Amino acid sequence: MTGPSPTLPLPPVPGPLPATTPLVVALSGGLDSSVLLHRLAGDRVLRARGLRAIHVDHGLHPDSVAWGRACARACAALGIALEVVTVDARDTRGLGPEGAARKARHAAFERLLRDDEVLVLAHHLDDQAETFLLRALRASGPDGLAAMRPWRRFGRAWLWRPLLGLPRDALRAYAHAHDLAWVEDPGNEDDRFDRNFLRARVLPLLRERWPHASAALARSSELGADAADLLRAGDSRALARVATADPRCLSVAALSALPRARRQRVLRLWMDRLGLPPLPAQGVSRIEHDLIGARPDAGAAFAWHGVRVRRWRDLLHADHERAPLPVDWSVAWDGREPLSLPTGGALELVGAEALPGPCRVHARRGGERIQRAGRGHSHALKQVLQALEVPPWVRTRLPLLSDAAGTLLAAGDLVLAARLDAWLREHDARVLWTDPADAPPPALADAREPRCD
């Protein structure tokens, strides 16, 4: 006499979402995601919310197209809509094959998910334990050792891992009891990959001595997540204390006053908030030694992955690398249409049909002078820009406007000559320079002088 078929207890869908929010299963076709799809499809309440699946073909294995077809058959049998998407998972950033595939897969999910849909992943307790060991062996700190979260925001959607409390054996028993079919990726047996080595050789040995090793490691990871949450709350408060009106700039003096460990965490959080690539392993120490400890006028910088952090005066500036205007670039412009700049962005006359006379827009070449309103004589443009605290790398992108005689009328929209300033006021017009490198945040759009860009 056989016993009842094993079931998989699922927690309720968390979060403040209506009961009509659709669920989207990330379906690889393997054991774990196949069990997850079958379990969700068999729940009348969850299915009523709207249930569909997405399969990502990474194109890394000759059988990957066949795996997609297997997913299609499984979904058809359950009456679940499936979307198959092919991605380019080649490693171009040194992430390794697993990291590159994960990055491509997550990008596809973010693109395909709709507002507030719930992406459901099949990670389980053993995955949690493996991740903890991997990160510990890589000398990760509290953030790295923190557990995978069962629920979090994911772009404009949400991410839910309902199986985190269940071991892999429970999923396998469910699959056999329900006679499920799944695909086996031969790459999962290759113990040259770190995770496969832990799964096939290390964790079984640990469980021989400590049967509950996976549960204990997963619990340690959860405790690490609690500690990381507390640390991140303190990091956010510290970042607010060292921040400036421009989120891309931090006060060096305020940073220096923080304890070293907190300062390092704040620098990493800063990069994350700006949406910039994470600092490399030695990035924080390089910034501390080469930038924070540098003279204010040293022009110190640290660059990685197309990003540069610079020290200028009492500020650290972080942004993507940006090309300067070509020194020999010069074009005629009458203001009737916005002028596209070779570095991106544009120069535009707003509120008037055309400039008062023929003009040229060109790059800085050095030695320019400008006479501003209320001044009896001209000043060197370099000194004016320094007084306005415009950093040197922004000056190299600054489009200059000169009349037919070569008299300087404006430097972007930061500095206006008295003559052009009077004409613009008379016509209730303005010159507007937009630049992707140094445009201030929306909240600061009207605070053009002085600024930190």
Binding site feature residues for ATP? 28-33
Mapped onto helix, strand or coil, the DSSP state of residue 403 is strand
Question: What's the CA dihedral at 119, 124, 127, 133 to 10 degrees?
Answer: 120
Name which of 113, 117, 121 is nearest 20 in CA terms.
Answer: 117
**Cα(390)–Cα(378) distance, rounded to whole angstroms?**
19
Distance between CA atoms of residues 142 and 420, nearest Å: 57
The label of the residue with tokens 């005629």 reads 332
Give the Å distances, CA to CA, from 337 to 11, 109, 404.
59, 40, 18
Can you say which residues are annotated as belonging to the binding site? 28-33
Task: List CB contacts of 97: < 8 A, sequence separation 6 or more.
Answer: 60, 89, 91, 193
User: In sequence order, what E strands does 222-306 have?
Assistant: 249-251, 301-304
Q: Which two tokens stand for residue 137?
A: 């062996």
Q: Are 118 and 157 in contact (CB under 8 A)?
A: yes
The neighbouring-strand residues paired with 432 are 348
CB 410 within 8 A of CB 400: yes
User: 10 Å Cβ neighbour count for 313?
Assistant: 12
Rounded to the nearest 10°, the torsion over CA 168, 169, 174, 176 is 120
Q: Residue 148's closest CA among 177, 171, 167, 123?
A: 123
Residue with tokens 């490198």: 437
Q: How many CB atoms lie within 10 A of CB 204?
A: 11
Residue 418 DSSP SS3: helix
Angle 291-295-298 from CA coordinates, rounded to 5°:
80
Closest CA to 34 of 68, 71, 67: 71
Which DSSP symbol is given to 27?
A: -
Tell how strand 23-26 and strand 359-362 pair up.
unpaired
CA 172 to CA 174: how far, in whole Å? 5
Report the run of H or E that residue 156 belongs to, with start and end. none
* Residue 200 per-residue DSSP state: I
